[in-house]
Chains A and B, each alone.
Chain A
Amino acid sequence: MLIRRAGTIKPSEITSHDLFLRRREFLRGAGWAVAGAALAPTLACGAEGEARLPAPAAGADANPFRTDEAPTSLEDATRYNNFYEFGTDKSDPQRYTGNLRTRPWSVAITGEVAKPGTIDLDDLVRPHTAEERIYRLRCVEAWSMVIPWLGIPLGEIIKRFEPTSNARYVAFKTLLDPEQMPGQRSRALDWPYVEGLRIDEAMHPLTILATGMYGQELPNQNGAPLRLVVPWKYGFKSIKSIVEIRLTRSEPPTSWNRQAPREYGFFANVNPAVDHPRWSQKRERRIGEFKKRPTLPFNGYADQVAALYEGIDLRKHF
């Protein structure tokens, strides 16, 4: 039985010691991001120059789990969000997520697992250590950020529930509650928001369930209390405020694909070679920079994930 003990500090609230020691670096990072707005032309030119180096250098991070690129300012990362459950304007999430109740929060793990069940969020994350991952985030709308997440590899969590041999996909679902999520009262999308990954994508070490960012608990507008982060895919794949994780035999439906199948595929891998039918994906504006920068295949994580898609025509399966 899962007993919730009151008074214990939630793991999601603990800043790792490592991060705590580097808190000044963090603030400096944020400061640089702001300064970046002023220095943008110079910085952007430098970045372009780097991108022109031969193949393996394209976005090659010394450590793919923690890019050296300057994090976006916390201010920008929390005031410029796509979270249609709260409205379609970028500023709506910051404005209207105040009423979202993120505790208590439970997550149902169902489908092709030996040990299905509904588990309280704190119990879901307690056995794990939150790791800091500094990832690029590329939105399908051609803007990008760099976010220091705190999270747990999704694969580690899934393994605890013992997937069966039939588990080929993982489906995710966001909370459905128009009371708390005013955007769900209009039909901008077919609610609740659903997303999905192939099992190998879900088990990939880069894929995490995030509970925090910038050393803090996840702000509501960024998908509190639990969101997916898949850094090599367009941002809409990284579903927010998750209430259900279901392992399935067949490819699950995904919200944007249902909304516009010609424009948004199931894979939705960041790919500068395949344009959105209505706009170009060749370049992106990094929030805080002035000039656009080239978009990298798999958002710069090609060395880690390209092998997952060997033999697949990514023009067809965009």
Chain B
Amino acid sequence: MNPTRRNRSLQIFAMTAGALPAAWLIVLALTDDLGANPVERVTHVTGDWALRFLLLSLSVTPLRRLFGWRWVAPLRRTLGLTAFGYACSHFLTYLVLDHFFDWRLIVEDVLERRYVTAGFSAFLCLVPLAATSTRAMIRRLGRRWIPLHRLAYLAAALAVIHFLWLVKSDLREPLVYAAALTLLLGLRFGFWLARSRSRKLSPKEAKSQLSGV
């Protein structure tokens, strides 16, 4: 398969995979199979998948660097936008199904409940990322695009904290996400260290290193 075609089928695969949890939720809703507390179920499922896709999108660059898989690079945007889609559904579920536009309670929640504050902040971080994900915006922002999109790490950290703060006693599930995020951040730090070390070498040394002498 030529690279462009492989690219395309990979994108289609990622989009389909991204749509599956949503499709599954819709099937459950239509067959009245969401359980005793449907609103809670929808909130949990959309929240879980927002976090999962966010972490998947953050694993694209480390995979590319570690294993030289250049073909995964285009998946970053697809996975990131899928995460944003689930985050929007999660937020809308809270806004409409859970609180039914009761703004007084929503404002109180966002200001006073720290897990809501963390979750809402994570959502706010994702908004500019989704808005600047088009080719035109990437071109327009130029060099500023990269530092802006480091917000994805902050969003993921806030989302994990949101999860940790809302569970009653069993921290195992949020801790799995915390471990995954720590690993991803650790890899980033490793890449950064390696790069800054190679930058410190004189151009001549770097050149000789590159040529393997």
Contact surface of A with B, Cβ cutoff 8 Å: 75-76, 79-80, 84, 88, 90-91, 141, 143, 186, 188-189, 259-260, 278-280, 282-283, 285, 287-288, 290-292
Contacts and interface: CB of A to CB of B under 8 A. Distances in A.
B108 interface: yes
Contact of A79 (B36, B114, B165, B170): B36
The residue in A84, A141, A186, A279 that gathers the most chain B C-beta atoms within 10 A of its C-beta is A279
Nearest to B165: A278
Contact of A143 (B37, B109, B113): B37
Instruction: Report the contact-size class of chain B (Cβ under 8 Å from the partner).
Output: 20 to 34
B115 A278 contact: yes
B167 to A, nearest CB: 8
A188 B169 contact: yes
Contact of A280 (B39, B113, B114, B168): B113
Contacts of B105: 280, 282-283
Contacts of B168: 88, 141
B95 interface: no
Contacts of A91: 35
A27 to B, nearest CB: 18
Given A278-B114, A278-B115, A282-B105, A287 B169 contact: no
12 contacts: A75-B36, A80-B37, A88-B168, A143-B37, A189-B169, A282-B105, A285-B39, A285-B40, A290-B39, A290-B97, A292-B98, A292-B99
A207 B40 CA distance: 30
B169 A260 contact: yes
A278 B113 contact: yes
A188 B35 contact: no
Interface of B: 35-37, 39-40, 97-100, 105, 108-109, 113-115, 165-166, 168-170, 172
B37 A287 contact: yes
B36 A76 contact: yes
Contacts of A143: 37, 40
A231 to B, nearest CB: 20
A261 to B, nearest CB: 13
A285 B37 contact: yes
Given A278-B113, A278-B114, A285-B40, 16 more contacts: A79-B36, A84-B170, A88-B168, A88-B170, A90-B35, A90-B36, A143-B37, A186-B172, A188-B170, A278-B165, A278-B166, A279-B113, A279-B115, A287-B37, A290-B39, A291-B100
A290 B109 CA distance: 19
A36 B189 CA distance: 54
Contacts of B114: 278
A80 B35 contact: yes
A129 B200 CA distance: 85
Contacts of A80: 35-37
Nearest to A87: B170
B166 A280 contact: no
Nearest to B100: A291
Given A278-B113, A280-B105, A291-B100, A259 B35 contact: no
